[in-house]
Structure 1
Amino acid sequence: MSRPPGNIPPEIPEAVVVPRKRWRVQLVWLVPLVAVLIGGWLAVKAVLDKGPTITISFETGEGLEAGKTKIKFKNVDIGTITSVVLSPDHSRVIARADLSRDASSLLVDDTRFWVVRPRISGGTVSGIGTLLSGSFIGMDVGTGKESRRDYVGLEKPPVIATGVPGREFILKGDDMGSLDVGSPIFFRRLQVGQVTSYALDGDGKGVTLRVFINAPYDRYVKDDSRFWQASGVDVSLDTSGVKVNTQSLVAILIGGLAFQTPEENAGKSEAAAGTEFSLFRDRTEAMKRHDRIVDTYVFNFTESVRGLSVGAPVDFRGITVGEVAAIYTRFDPVKKKFSIPVEIRLYPERFTSRYKDGGEGGRVAAPADRHELGNWLVEHGLRGQLKTGNLLTGQLYVALDFFPNAAKAAIDWSGTPPEIPTVPGGLQSLQDSVTSLLARLNKIPFEGIGNNTKQTLLDADALLKRLDSEVLPQARATLAAAQTALNSANTALQPDSPLTQSTSETMRELARTAAAFRTLADYLERHPEALIRGKPEDKK
């Protein structure tokens, strides 16, 4: 645009209209906007990073504190208890916990939770570190596949964590003894496992224990392995002296178990996990031979069975072939007498033990011939007899043997169980003999014999008095005369006595006569004709 000449004012420029923008962000609003974005991002991240929420039920709230008690897995924090409240029925405590997102895969059906606090159980001490740091909730991951969010917490920590190599077995026993959770299990005095749990049977007649044997020792548990209580000290007295047997000092103090497989069954297959075994009271009972065939009989004794107990052996010539199962009393209304029936379990396999070929034992005869064989044995003197097993304790056992001179008897097969005849025991026989002797002695008229003896003594006294008054003076005179005769004979026999000298001279004369006779005999032997002709004259 050119400027006009003169005083003419320049032209006013024409305004150009620019359209106004509808939205214009001021710089001042950038800060709140960024803050909102960051907050939103943090909120979304918090939601995305938040782990699962679970509830755990406990009997008490001891050791639980909202906002402080941690949940740990392998000593790593994976969550926190957020609240602790009572259950609607006020019987339990419900703890709610938030876990990290990484812990979601650990929440399976058989995952276990428990409160870790100082404990002493089964000879083990755990949770000592919580004295300073405080209690926390321990966790053990299960092997299940299904997810879960509600759990019932354990009141005691598990003895064996999931995934530990080994196998669990079940034991059935009469009572617990001194066992507890965590009690050790020994194999050849080496600790190889522990008791994991126990419970009373539903019928109240026994207990069931679960035990865990660590690998690789679990392969020594066979189908025929025997478990027994190894608590305390086992003292036995036999012909070799006193024996003291125990597993370890720990077993003496807190109890324990032990197991072993009989040598003849050591080659059997390994027992599967969950196999059920019987729990015996001691090693002796556990290692007894377990027979497949068991026959039940009864012995009816009329003598005292004091000292005989259930479990006492039935002996056949030094070999245990059975045991006493029960002892009863019986009254016979016909004979009006009491007797003691003793029920026994007889093991026929022990009469046919394994031979060189290693075959299994069995019955002596087929079941069909059992009655025939039993009758034949009893006919030949098979009887039961009570004998003393220990003179110190007076314990008895049942001896099964042959007594050829026993009275005739037979097995009563009509009863259940069959009854085998018996003979009195050695002490009973002695007692019967003493009783018979006393009965005979009671029949002797000792009073009459005493009176007769008294009269005899009076007669003897009178006789002695008569001998003293009548016979004794004459006897004294006779003795005096005999003494005088002896003195005279002694004097006559002296060397210088006339009788002795005359006797000596006579003997010399007899000697000279004998010499002359010998000379004559010699001459006649040389000259027998002299008996007829005479002695020839001597030639001059």
Structure 2
Amino acid sequence: MPDSGPGGALPDLPQAKPVAGSRWRMQIVWLVPIVALLIGGWLAVKAVLEEGPTVTISFRSGDGLEAGKTKIKYKDVDIGIVKSVTLSRDHKRVIATGELVKDAADMLVDNTRFWVVRPRISGGTVSGLGTLLSGSYVGMDEGNSKKARHDFVGLEVPPVFPSDIPGREFVLRSADMGSIDVGSPVFFRRLQVGQISSYELDPSGKGVTMHVFVNAPYDRYVRNDTRFWHASGLDVSLSSDGVQINTQSFVSMLIGGIAFETPDSDRNTPEAIENTRFDLYETHTEAMKQHDRIVDTYIVTFYDSVRGLTVGAPVDFRGVEIGEVTRIFTRFDPVKRQFSIPVEINLYPERFTSRYQNGPQRPGRIASSPHELADFLVASGFRFQLRSGNPLTGQLYVAFDIFPDSPKTKIDWTKSPPELPTAPRTLQSLQDSLTRLLAKLNGIPFDQLGAQAQQTLQNTNDVIKKLGTDVVPEAQGTLSSARSALESANSALQPDTQLQQNTSDAMRELARTAASVRNLTDYLERHPEAVVRGKPGDKP
């Protein structure tokens, strides 16, 4: 509006110019929510960046699991927590979802293991006693695989040892578990060097496979020819050698265990690699038996009692065990109508060869043609015979020895397995001799001999009676005459009788005559010329 001049007129004023305002002008009041939004976003991004991995673990039951409370630990350090516990879709298992710290992401690999730690007694060991007050938790053992994984099947039994302990694991195959369990000790020279880590039934159901872990440095004593056996309780064996009792330790007597040893002849064999498979034997004796590459099976038939002979009894050749009994049967021969006891044996030809000679070549057969050698031995009188190994236990064994007087026989190689000849036992031979003697005695006509003996006795009685009636009186007269003659001779030989005096005089004369003859003989020896000339001084 213009300014008014004098007389009421207004003065001129400058015209206002419109100015366009900014459309994006922010009020100060909006600064607070913006800052809060930025902080929240930053916290969200940080939470996402620091969030650890999520893992799902399947368990058979939810015992000891509680969402929001059950912790996940590794080496007794908290690395996560169980967020939820739900059932699987088939309602057969429990699915635990856990959240781990970010640093544990690289620990979730293919062979990582999870299990619930709770109070447990297994294999003679007690674990998880601390959870009685603190509650159960999920234990974790880091694997060494390169493949990542986030879903796992939890172990029902805690692992015996962590995966980072030095040593090696081996696989054992046995017919049954015996008295051992997970955590049972493994002994070497009665020193505990490992434990049973796990076991499972074979798919065929005919055996059990066990995994044993041997701690370093003892694992270097497990070689390719090492023998494992049950060391549980007392190993009492009754054989032809008597009663033997073996045990490893008092602990093994209570909770069982496994022991291993390498034979002296095989200690130079290489060390066994990881997961090498071995057979688990029942006893130390069975484990340390010589393992032969060549096995020949034969049948030996006995006709006397085999009581005391058991499967596993040795076949002995002059004190050296060359085989063992594998099976015992009975057989009836319808032609001869006779029972027999066929015994199946395994012979090990390598044991006939020399082992004291040094050399890289292992022993084999002692002949290129086994049949020719067997025929030669049988023709030479070699036979199999039952013998008593221990009179106290009554155990028998099969002996292989030479019997020169055995009847000639041959081996029928068309049979499978072939049958080798036998010789009866010593007692059986004596019994057979007595039987033959009794048969001969039974063939003697004792009735006829008795009648003849009775007739002879009757004749003898008649002779005695005749002697009493005829001969005796005459003999009495003869005896009386002889007595009279003796009395006359006795009276004639008295010292003061004429006969004695005449005899004395005659003896003196004979003595003087003998002296004269002696003197004459001496003189003639000195003077033989006296026979012609006479004594000196005598007249011619």
Residue 408 of structure 2 is matched in structure 1 by 408
User: What is the CA–CA distance in structure 1 between the aligned matches of 2:496 and 2:78, rounded to whole Å?
Assistant: 143
Q: Deviations over 1:74-113 (max 9, x none)?
A: 0011122233333333322232323222222222222111
Shift of 1:282: 1.4
Contact (CA 8 Å) 2:240, 2:397: kept in 1 or not?
A: no
> Separation in 1 of the partners of 2:267 and 2:223?
7
Query: What percent identity do the matched residue pairs reach?
Result: 63
1:164 aligns with 2:153: no
The aligned residue for residue 155 of structure 1 is 156
Quick check: 1:51–1:99 contact (8 Å CA) kept in 2?
A: yes
| Aligned-partner Cα distance in 2 for 1:483–1:236 | 88
519-528 vs 116-125, greater mean Cα deviation: 519-528
CA deviation string 1:315-366 (max 9, x = no partner):
2222222222222233334433333322222212122223534232111222
Note closer, same or farther for the CA distance 1:225–1:513 as it changes in structure 2 (3 Å cut).
same
For 2:135 and 2:474, how far apart are their aligned partners in 1? Answer: 126
Aligned to 1:92: 93
C-alpha deviation, 1:142, in angstroms? 1.1
In 1, Cα distance between equivalents of 2:120 and 2:492: 122
Q: 1:412 offset after TM fit, Å? A: 0.8
Helix, strand or coil for the counterpart of 1:63? Answer: coil
After superposing the two structures, state which structure 1 stretch, 304-313 or 34-43, moved more.
Answer: 34-43
Structure 1 stretch 182-191 or stretch 33-42: which is displaced more?
A: 33-42
Q: Which moved more, 1:95-104 or 1:444-453?
A: 444-453
* Structure 1 residues 488-507: aligned runs within 5 Å: 507=507
Distance 1:187 1:120 in 2: 24
Residues 475/370 of structure 1: CA separation in 2 closer, same or farther (3 Å cut): same
Task: Report whether the alignment pairs 1:365 with 2:367.
Answer: yes
2:384 corresponds in structure 1 to 384
**Partners in 2 of 1:485 and 1:234 — Cα distance?**
97
The answer on whether the counterparts of 1:71 and 1:139 sit within 8 Å (CA) in structure 2 is yes
Could you tell me how far apart the structure 2 residues matched to 1:281 and 1:343 are?
22
- Which residue in 1 is equivalent to 2:255? 254
Structure 1 residue 430 corresponds to structure 2 residue 430 = yes
| CA gap 1:524/1:54 in 2 versus in 1, 3 angstroms | closer
Equivalent residue number for residue 3 of structure 2: none
Which moved further from structure 2: 299-308 or 510-519? 510-519
Does residue 316 of the first structure (1) align with residue 317 of the second (2)?
yes
Question: Could you say which residue in structure 2 is the equivalent of 1:230?
Answer: 231
Paired residue secondary structure (1:155)? coil
Q: CA deviation at 1:500?
A: 6.3
* Corresponding residue for residue 210 of structure 1: 211
Question: Residues 123 and 527 (structure 1 numbering): CA distance in 2 closer, same or farther, change over 3 Å?
Answer: same
Alignment match, 2:28 = 25
1:64 aligned to 2:60? Answer: no
Is 1:190 aligned with 2:191? yes
CA distance in 1 between counterparts of 2:490 and 2:67 reads: 139
Describe the SS at the equivalent of 1:51: coil
- Measured after TM superposition, the shift of residue 491 of structure 1 is 7.8
2-structure distance, mates of 1:508, 1:333: 103
Q: Distance in 2 between matches of 1:478 and 1:134?
A: 133
Assess if the C-alpha contact under 8 Å between 1:314 and 1:398 holds in 2.
Answer: yes
Maintained 8 Å contact 1:184/1:192:
yes
Q: 1:135 aligns to what?
A: 136
Are 2:134 and 1:103 aligned? no
CA–CA separation in structure 1 for the residues paired with 2:269 and 2:257: 25
Cα deviation, 1:300-320, whole Å, max 9, x if unaligned, reads 333332222222222222222
1:440 alignment counterpart: 440
The number of residue pairs the alignment matches comes to: 524
* In 1: Cα distance, 2:27 partner to 2:536 partner: 216
Distance 1:47 1:525, change over 3 A: closer
The Cα shift of 1:181 comes to 0.9
Q: 1:124 to 1:462 in 2, by over 3 A?
A: farther
1:8 matched residue in structure 2: none
Could you state the TM-score of these two structures normalised by the residue count of structure 1?
0.83
Alignment partners' CA distance in 2, 1:468 and 1:55: 130
Show the counterpart of 2:272.
Answer: 271
Change (3 A) 1:242 1:312: closer
Distance 2:520 2:458 in 1: 76
Name which of structure 1's ranges 326-335 and 506-515 shifts more when overlaid on structure 2.
506-515
CA distance in structure 1 between the aligned counterparts of 2:46 and 2:473, rounded to whole angstroms = 152
Q: Is the Cα–Cα contact under 8 Å of residues 87 and 93 in structure 1 kept in the other structure?
A: yes
Stretches of structure 1 lacking an aligned partner (at least 5 in a row): 1-10
Superposed CA deviations along residues 365-415 of structure 1, whole A, max 9, x for unmatched, are: 22xx33333323322223222222222222222222333332221111111
Q: Residues 240 and 390 of structure 2 are in contact (CA less than 8 Å); yes or no, is this contact kept in structure 1?
A: no
Q: How far 1:210 sits from its partner (Å)?
A: 0.9
1:130 deviates by: 1.8
Letter aligned with residue 442 of structure 2: N
Paired amino acid for 2:362: E
> What does residue 4 of structure 2 align with?
none
The alpha-carbon deviation at position 451 of structure 1 amounts to 5.7
Q: Measure, in 1, the Cα distance between the counterparts of 2:242 and 2:325.
A: 27
> Over the residues paired in the alignment, what is the CA RMSD in angstroms?
3.9
Distance 1:62 1:496 in 2: 142
Bigger shift: 329-338 or 234-243? 234-243
In the alignment, what sits opposite 1:514?
Answer: 514
Asked if 1 retains the 8 angstrom alpha-carbon contact of 2:58 and 2:93, the reply is yes
Amino acid at match of 1:397: Y
Cα pair 1:353 1:360 within 8 Å, conserved: no
Q: Is the 8 A contact 2:239 2:313 kept in 1?
A: no
Q: Report which stretch shifted further, 177-186 or 308-317.
A: 308-317
Q: Which moved more, 1:493-502 or 1:81-90?
A: 493-502
**What is the correspondence of 1:120-131 to structure 2 with a 5 Å cutoff?**
120-131=121-132
Query: Does the 8 A contact of 1:54 with 1:150 survive in 2?
Result: yes
**Letter of the aligned partner of 2:367 in structure 1?**
A
1:175 maps to a residue whose letter is D
TM-score between the two structures when normalised by the length of structure 2: 0.83
Inter-partner Cα distance in structure 2 for 1:124 and 1:477: 116
Q: How does 1:320-339 map to 2 (within 5 A)?
A: 320-339=321-340
Deviation at 1:435, TM superposition (A): 1.5
Distance 1:148 1:483, change over 3 A: farther
Q: Which region of structure 1 is more displaced relative to structure 2, 401-410 or 493-502?
A: 493-502
Q: Which position in structure 1 is the counterpart of 2:5?
A: none
* 1:140–1:501 Cα change, 3 Å: farther
Shift of 1:529: 7.1
SS of the equivalent of 1:79 reads strand
CA distances 1:406-463 after superposition (whole Å, capped 9, x unpaired) = 2221111111122222222323222211221222222234455556666666777787
- Maintained 8 Å contact 1:299/1:384: yes
Which residue of 1 is the match for residue 8 of structure 2?
Answer: none
Aligned CA distance change for structure 1 residues 513 and 312 (closer, same or farther; 3 Å): same
Q: Does 1:421 align with 2:421?
A: yes
Query: Which stretch shows the higher mean deviation, 496-505 or 311-320?
Result: 496-505
Equivalent position SS for 1:389:
strand
8 Å contact from structure 2 (residues 241, 389) kept in 1? no
After superposition, the Cα gap between the structure-2 partners of 1:43 and 1:525, relative to the gap in structure 1 and judged at 3 Å, is: closer
